[in-house]
Amino acid sequence: MDDMYRQFLGVLLVLGILVAALYLLKQRGLARFTGMRIGGPQRVMKVLERVPLTAQHAVHLVQIGQRRVLIASSPRSCQLITEISERDSPPLDVQ
């Protein structure tokens, strides 16, 4: 019985360390948790795709409600490139 309690406490200790590590990573912005939200509000804005151009420049396809916009980002600014209509954009598999 004593051995079983030691194993159980060992498992709890490892799980506690994992939870603490995930909490610290989330606080520092190094981890992001997504999944099903139960009872929470649905997101209005979704990043559909990101294409890096250089190490610090990228193009983002963002859906805001029913609109899709293409945005360029750099370390100093963000700029709207264009709005893409539903008929011009291919259907995307967004989860």
| SS3 assignment, position 82 | strand
Specify the pLDDT at position 92.
60
Confidence band (pLDDT; 50, 70, 90) for 79? very high
Residue bearing tokens 């990101």: 50
Q: Which residues contact 62 (CB under 8 A, 6 or more apart)?
A: 45, 46, 47, 48, 68, 69, 70, 71
- Confidence category of residue 95, pLDDT binned at 50, 70, 90: very low
Q: What is the pLDDT of residues 9-61, one digit of tens each?
A: 999 999 999 999 988 888 777 776 666 556 666 778 888 899 999 999 999 99
Q: Compute CA distances 24 → 10, 18, 20, 51, 70, whole Å.
A: 21, 10, 6, 28, 33
β partners of residue 30: none
The pTM of this model reads 0.50
